[in-house]
């Protein structure tokens, strides 16, 4: 009887502990209450709104005065055309959102701008290196292409996946053109190193589109002889525009 009662009491205690909603550790004074996060779904409209925020961010970064002031005469017109392309994609995305009864989003992606966009612009401005304008352009175009490619895995409607890839392919083309402006000719197609062993910019860095973070070195050379590396990630659950 005692054994059975003990087992019963232990089982009850375990179940009671699992079901308790109160903190198990005693506290003195007021404790902050936790607010349950809203249960948000990643819908096709959310992806399209996020794509708009990314296109707006790309356009803003490529049109930034720190970038346009540093760009050479030859590259300034190309970068400006790329910025205009991103603005024109907003209309394509707006049509796709309207068709799904969604609401367009006209602002930049504030979280990603804060995470790496503004840092990149500040580094370009402080470095005052014209070459950084093309490096930044290549990184931004690669990021946008990767974003659309990633969104394919989250999109429900097959037709919309094709629409996203069509827009993303435009950024891929711009990335290839920018890479050729940095390291031109057929010699720049394949990944290679210079005579000092430093990796050169490759127009075709891999057979399949990459979804890893885009890395770009920007800004002035620091005391140790290196430059800051900015990592640009595609949007994730905390930077989607719901």
Contact 133, 83 (CB under 8 A): no
165 near another protein (CB under 8 A):
yes
184 near another protein (CB under 8 A):
yes
Least distance from C-beta 6 to another protein, angstroms? 11
Radius of gyration of the chain from its Cα atoms, rounded to whole angstroms: 25
Binding mask 27-66 for another protein (x = CB under 8 A): ----------------------------------------
Least distance from C-beta 165 to another protein, angstroms? 5
| Cβ neighbours of 10 (radius 10 Å) | 10
197-216 residues in contact with another protein (CB under 8 A) are: 203-204, 206-209
- CA 103 vs CA 36, 41, 48, 57, 111: distances in Å: 26, 15, 10, 18, 20
Contact 134, 178 (CB under 8 A): yes
C-alpha span between 132 and 128 (Å, rounded): 8
Least distance from C-beta 14 to another protein, angstroms? 7
In this complex, which beta carbon is closest to another protein, that of residue 90 or of residue 145? 145
In this complex, which beta carbon is closest to another protein, that of residue 123 or of residue 140? 140
C-alpha span between 180 and 165 (Å, rounded): 22
Say which residues have a Cβ less than 8 Å from residue 130's Cβ, sequence separation at least 6.
70, 71, 72, 75
Dihedral Cα 204, 175, 123, 72, nearest 10 deg: 110
172 near another protein (CB under 8 A):
yes
In this complex, which beta carbon is closest to another protein, that of residue 116 or of residue 148? 148
Least distance from C-beta 82 to another protein, angstroms? 8
In this complex, which beta carbon is closest to another protein, that of residue 115 or of residue 165? 165
18 near another protein (CB under 8 A):
yes
- Burial tier of 218 (Cβ tally within 10 Å: 0-12, 13-18, 19+): buried
- Select from 104, 115, 125, 169 the one that contacts another protein (CB under 8 A): 169
Q: By CB under 8 A, how many residues form the interface with another protein?
A: 51
Binding site for another protein (CB under 8 A): 1, 4, 7-8, 11-12, 14-15, 18, 77-78, 81-82, 85, 145-146, 148-149, 152-153, 156, 158-159, 161-162, 165-166, 168-170, 172-177, 179-181, 184-187, 189-190, 203-204, 206-209
């Amino acid at each position: 009887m005692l054994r059975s009662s003990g087992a019963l009491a232990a089982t009850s205690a375990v179940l009671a502990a699992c079901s308790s909603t109160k903190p198990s550790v005693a506290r003195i004074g007021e404790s902050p209450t936790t607010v349950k996060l809203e249960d948000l779904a990643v819908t096709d409209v959310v992806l399209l709104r996020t794509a708009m925020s990314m296109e707006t961010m790309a356009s803003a970064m490529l049109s930034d005065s720190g970038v346009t002031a540093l760009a050479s005469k030859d590259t300034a017109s190309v970068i400006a055309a790329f910025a205009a392309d991103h603005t024109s994609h907003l209309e394509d995305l707006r049509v796709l959102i309207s068709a799904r009864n969604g609401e367009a989003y006209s602002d930049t992606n504030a979280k990603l701008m804060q995470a790496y966009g503004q840092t990149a612009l500040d580094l370009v401005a402080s470095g005052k290196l014209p070459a950084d304008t093309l490096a930044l352009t290549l990184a931004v175009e690669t990021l946008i292409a990767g974003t659309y490619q990633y969104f394919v895995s989250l999109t429900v409607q097959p037709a919309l996946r094709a629409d996203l890839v069509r827009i993303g392919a435009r950024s891929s083309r711009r990335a290839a053109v920018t890479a050729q402006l940095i390291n031109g000719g057929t010699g720049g197609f394949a990944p290679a190193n210079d005579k000092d062993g430093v990796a050169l910019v490759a127009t075709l860095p891999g057979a399949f589109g990459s979804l890893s973070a885009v890395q770009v070195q920007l800004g002035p050379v620091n005391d140790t002889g290196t430059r800051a590396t900015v990592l640009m990630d595609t949007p994730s659950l905390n930077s989607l525009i719901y």
